[in-house]
Homo-oligomer: A and B are copies of this chain.
């Protein structure tokens, strides 16, 4: 019943304890599920505004999506097949009064009531951009030049409990998406990767860019990951937080025509659109700032506070 908790290093568990003690994170009892105190949220909110200001100046359209999405879409786009270990599918109760009573009695003593649950039509959103593609495809062909979207901060879910405060089950990612011709999409990704690295540098974070791959499941997944790396489809900005390796705080992903094909996304000339997305891991960036500059944002370097307006 209970999920395996990922190993964490001593300094990760210690940092989590410091964040709890400072009221920046609020313990829930579930590893990777935390409330947040006001200073944490204030910094995150300012990060969001900084990114949205730049995206808005580029003409990005703002759209926002809830933390759940149709199960059918995650069956269609291959997420259930490729990332089964990370999915969260929502179950509910559709039984009788006596079944409700039996379920409630088991729940009251924390015993297994899963047998009374059946799968609903919705799942947790695992990546903030996934709800966007079918929505845009449903509008018909894009205008000439394609489109750019600012999805703001979105709650995403990954089923991976951990004691590392930077590895969450439920966390915020600020995603931007570009849909267009291959060259335009690739150029957009390159510009934003450079801009993102500069932005994190201005915030006093020691970052570098590296090629990366998604955590596909199992043996077949290793092949998919190798292809992704060979085609240079995923870049990450890595920042030291805790642990022996730096942590991915932003990613820049070129999907070729994958989502274009899956959802029938068409450009104005009728050809299949290419797509790229980028995601700033908002909770991770705030953690990196707290780890680098200290737990009290009012004492951060003036240049960092000025850039964020905190």
Interface residues, chain A, with chain B CB atoms under 8 Å away: 1-4, 26-30, 33-38, 41, 61-70, 72-76, 78, 80-82, 84-85, 87-95, 97, 100-101, 103-105, 107-108, 110, 112-114, 116-122, 124, 131-132, 134-135, 138, 152, 155, 157, 159, 161, 169-171, 217-220
Contact = CB atoms under 8 A, between A and B. Distances in A.
A217 B100 contact: yes
A67 B159 contact: no
B3 A94 contact: yes
The SS class assigned to the A binding surface is: mixed
A132 B206 CA distance: 35
A92 B87 contact: yes
A93 B84 contact: yes
B29 A134 contact: yes
Contact of A36 (B27, B64, B78, B97): B64
A170 B66 contact: yes
A38 B61 contact: yes
A36 B131 CA distance: 11
B104 A84 contact: yes
A240 to B, nearest CB: 25
Contacts of A88: 90-92, 120, 122
Contacts of A63: 26, 35-38
Contacts of A94: 3-4, 85
Contact of A1 (B114, B119, B134, B171): B119
A27 B134 CA distance: 10
B41 A159 contact: no
Contact of A29 (B68, B72, B105, B218): B72
Contacts of A70: 28-30, 33
Contacts of A30: 68-70, 121-122
